[in-house]
Structure 1
Amino acid sequence: MNQFLLTKAQKNQVIHQTRHYIELANQQHNLNLTEIKVKFDLKGRTSGMFMVRNGLTSIRYNEIIFSHYFEDSLINTVAHEVAHYVVHTIWGVKKVKPHGKEWQQVMLMFDVKPDVTSQYDVSGLPLHRQTQHDYSCGCMMHQLSTTRHNKVQKKKAIYKCRKCRLPLRLSSRNI
């Protein structure tokens, strides 16, 4: 058996823990959150991701990272992603920061430290890493993933620097 895959029992534990946090949020906030689709198809260096596509919500988990850091991911990553689901349901995505005070409040309600990113050492794990593309703004250099780079090239997205607020432009080093 592949050492970087979860067993069926472990996947069921993750799904159960996801449901547990949803039920806790329902009780604490008097909500009626429904079960959310859980997938184990996330690749790359991210351990979890809350998604909204075409009005449908899901949570994607990275099976490789979970297999290596199962106990910690079961608590922290699952709570992190369910907290995004709760915030999305209560406040919507446009009205709050992804890891703002509302998200932090939900994490604390789950009795989990509101860390924005996990501190897992993934250097020895067989994870895919996207090529980074150099972009610049008015004040510094930035690295965009291939996914974001392609969106910029197809004119489907414009990314701005958080400091100077200028649009990012493909660096001449890439041309």
Structure 2
Amino acid sequence: MQEELEQQLRQATLACLAQAEPLLRGAGRCRAQVRVLCDLRGKAAGQAVWAQGETRIRYNLALAKPQPEAFIQQTVPHEVAHVVTRLLHPRARPHGPEWRAVMAHLGIADAQRCHSFAVTPPGHSQRRWPYRCPCREHQLSTTRHNRILRGERNYLCRYCGSLLQRV
């Protein structure tokens, strides 16, 4: 199933790029060569990346699996529009009017900046550590707790300004 979904995402991306080709040709640009990866994690549905001389579109399979049709209809054009917009207008804002125009060309009239897919909580979340000051108790993340243990940083209460002490 996963390989099938990855293939569907690749095919949809190529089809979307082909649909945008007239825009690129009209501006004297070549069709984008895009590498499609399905390795994105977290809350983002997709990501357009320009690194090491190549253009990549990354998709989050965990968000795509529960609703593949909606994911393909929304996320694929969204990310392809980023690639096309960058080729046409290198200094355009990520979700600005140029991007919206490309989205309209791809058939998405009401382009949205963020997806509405259900995001399941990650497999693990950071533990919270109790700290106190004279006015209240605080819950610090593991990252901040470790910085205190290593002596890299001390944290102060935002309200009373006192140094936080581990409970």
Contact 1:36/1:57, CA 8 A, preserved across alignment: yes
| 1:143-167 superposed Cα distances (whole Å, 9 cap, x missing partner) | xxx9xxxxxxxxxxxxxxxxxxxxx
- Aligned-pair CA distance for 1:96: 1.2
CA offset at residue 32 of structure 1?
2.0
Match of 2:18 among 20, 23, 31: 23
Instruction: Judge conservation of contact 1:45–1:128 (CA < 8 Å) in 2.
Output: no
Question: 1:115 maps to which residue?
Answer: 112
Equivalent position to 1:54, from 52, 55, 60: 52
Instruction: Classify 1:69/1:91 alpha carbon distance in 2 versus 1 (closer, same or farther; 3 Å).
Output: same
Cα separation, partners in 2 of 1:75 and 1:50, compared to 1, 3 Å: same
- Residue-by-residue CA offset, 1:106-146 (whole Å, 9 max, x unaligned): 00000113110011121xx3536886xxxxxxxxxxxxxx9
Unaligned runs of 5+ in 1: 1-5, 132-145, 147-170
Amino acid at match of 1:108: A
Aligned-residue offset at 1:35:
3.1
Q: Does 1:43 align with 2:41?
A: yes
* Distance 1:129-1:54 versus aligned 2 partners, 3 A rule: farther
1:72: Cα distance to partner? 0.8
Aligned partners of 2:24 and 2:31 also within 8 Å: no
Q: Which amino acid is the alignment partner of residue 25 of structure 1? A: A
CA distance 1:56–1:97, change in 2 (3 Å): same
Q: Which residue does 1:98 correspond to in 2?
A: 94
Shift of 1:37: 0.4
What SS class does the counterpart of residue 81 from structure 2 fall into? helix
Match of 1:159 in 2: none
CA offset at residue 33 of structure 1?
Answer: 1.5
Structure 1 Cα separation of the partners of residues 123 and 97 of structure 2: 32
SS of corresponding position for 2:65: helix
Which structure: larger Rg? 2
Write the distance in 1 (CA, Å) between the matches of 2:92 and 2:51.
18
Secondary structure in 2 matching 1:81: helix
Counterpart position of 1:65: 63
TM-score, normalised relative to structure 1? 0.65
Q: How far 1:29 moved relative to its partner?
A: 3.5
Mark the runs of 5 or more structure 2 residues left unpaired by the alignment: 127-142, 144-154, 159-163
Shift of 1:38: 0.5
Provide the identity percentage.
26
| Residue pair 2:46, 2:58 contacting (<8 A) in 1 also | yes
